[in-house]
């Protein structure tokens, strides 16, 4: 339990994260958990109960001790980066509300960690997956519609599975509720619309307003596990890389747009990324693809 003043500030901070900044609830809860681990460590480290004045008085060495302990416990650089993000958010909240500043937290820098590039499908692999799924059954048409929508509009699987009839209220546009309940509009190419409409026409269950369109065999809302399993089965049948996942369709959407000269800002808007730095990871994919193509196809120097 926190002392009353600290507890009040933590609850107010959580409300700001979720309601004003639009963080997803899971992200907000992760920040709270990270901060709780930090205060527990500081109680043992300093030998007294954490309070607002105490937290504001912490020095760079105190923060360093926390991150060192996390590494000793088996944590990694990525985990420490997440802890630091949570701490900077809380201390930023204290500064914004006039509670005080902590110079120590601003002096913390952490070693950079390697960013693993997202796995992607090639265009031929996507065509092969959709061709293998194409069949006369409504389930096959459902899977084609789902994966065409994810790749054609750059959707997360959770976003695609939440699509309802009313989200198609504009011709050739889809309204999506993404992370943090932020709505965005994404354009729909004719092939994507055709696949979705073809499935909706043959689905044996009533697709009413307010209910997701993608259904399981018994009519219930299709789950992420069911969707992922359907894709994984086709990947194995085709002998494709077994580390491909539904999210790779979204990554493929972004990297293929970049390879065809789409600008980064437009891709950021289409993906619903708050920060351009998140979208910039796809530049690395595009650069890697260019280098591989150069090595393979240069008429004089190909390997």
Same fold, 4-106 and 123-297: no
For helices 138-153 and 224-238, give the axis angle rounded to 10 degrees. Answer: 90
Q: Return the pLDDT at 255.
A: 81
The CA dihedral of 64, 70, 75, 79, to the nearest 10 degrees, is: -60
- In our burial notation (b when 16+ CB lie closer than 10 A, e otherwise), range 33-44 reads ebbebbbebbee
d(CA 163, CA 186): 12
DSSP the chain: ---HHHHHHHHHHHHIIIIIS---HHHHHHHHHHHHHHHHHHHHHHSS---HHHHHT--HHHHHHHHHHHHHTT--HHHHHHHHHHHHHHHHHHHHTTS---HHHHT------PPPPPP---HHHHHHHHHHH--SSHHHHHHHHHHHHHHHHT--HHHHHT--GGGG-BTTEEEEE-GGG-EEEEE--HHHHHHHHHHHHH-SS---TTS-S-B-TTSSBPPHHHHHHHHHHHHHHHT--TT--HHHHHHHHHHHHHHTT--HHHHHHHHT-S-HHHHTHHHHHHHHHHHHHHHHH-TTT--
- In our burial notation (b when 16+ CB lie closer than 10 A, e otherwise), range 209-232 reads eeebbbbeeeeeebeeebbeebbe
Supply the residues annotated as catalytic: 156, 179, 247, 250, 273, 282
* Residue spans per domain, the chain: 4-106, 123-297
- pLDDT averaged over consecutive 10-residue blocks of the chain (303 residues)? 86 90 82 92 92 93 90 80 89 93 85 62 90 85 94 89 91 82 83 94 94 94 92 90 83 80 71 62 53 46 43
pTM equals 0.58
Specify the CATH architecture of the domain 123-297: Orthogonal Bundle (1.10)
DSSP 194-254: HHHHHHHHH-SS---TTS-S-B-TTSSBPPHHHHHHHHHHHHHHHT--TT--HHHHHHHHH
Q: Return the pLDDT at 275.
A: 59
Q: Fold for 4-106, please state it.
A: DNA polymerase; domain 1 (1.10.150)
Contact 234, 187 (CB under 8 A): no
Q: Return the pLDDT at 290.
A: 44
């Amino acid at each position: 339990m926190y002392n009353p003043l600290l507890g009040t500030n933590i609850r107010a901070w959580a409300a700001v994260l979720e309601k004003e900044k639009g963080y997803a609830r899971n992200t907000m809860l992760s920040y709270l958990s990270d901060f709780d681990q930090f205060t527990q460590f500081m109680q043992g480290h300093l030998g007294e109960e954490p309070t607002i004045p105490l937290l504001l008085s912490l020095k760079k060495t105190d923060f360093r001790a926390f991150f060192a302990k996390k590494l000793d416990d088996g944590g990694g650089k990525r985990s420490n980066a997440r802890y630091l993000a949570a701490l900077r958010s809380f201390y930023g909240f204290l500064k914004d509300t006039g509670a005080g500043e902590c110079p120590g937290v601003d002096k913390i820098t952490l070693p950079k960690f390697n960013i693993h590039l997202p796995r992607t499908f090639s265009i031929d692999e996507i065509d092969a997956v959709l061709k293998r799924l194409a069949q006369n059954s409504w389930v096959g048409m459902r899977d084609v519609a789902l994966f065409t929508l994810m790749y054609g509009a750059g959707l997360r699987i959770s976003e695609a599975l939440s699509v309802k009839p009313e989200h198609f209220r504009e011709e050739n546009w889809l309204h999506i509720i993404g992370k943090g309940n932020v709505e965005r509009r994404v354009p729909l190419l004719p092939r994507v619309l055709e696949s979705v409409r073809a499935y909706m026409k043959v689905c044996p269950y009533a697709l009413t307003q307010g209910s997701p369109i993608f259904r399981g065999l018994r009519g219930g809302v299709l789950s992420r596990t069911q969707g992922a399993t359907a894709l994984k089965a086709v990947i194995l049948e085709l002998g494709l890389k077994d580390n491909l996942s539904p999210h790779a369709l979204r990554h493929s959407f972004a990297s293929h747009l970049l390879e065809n000269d789409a600008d980064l800002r437009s891709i950021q808007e289409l993906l619903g990324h708050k920060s351009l730095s998140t979208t910039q990871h796809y530049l690395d994919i595009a650069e890697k693809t260019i280098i591989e193509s150069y090595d393979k196809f240069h008429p004089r120097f190909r390997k």
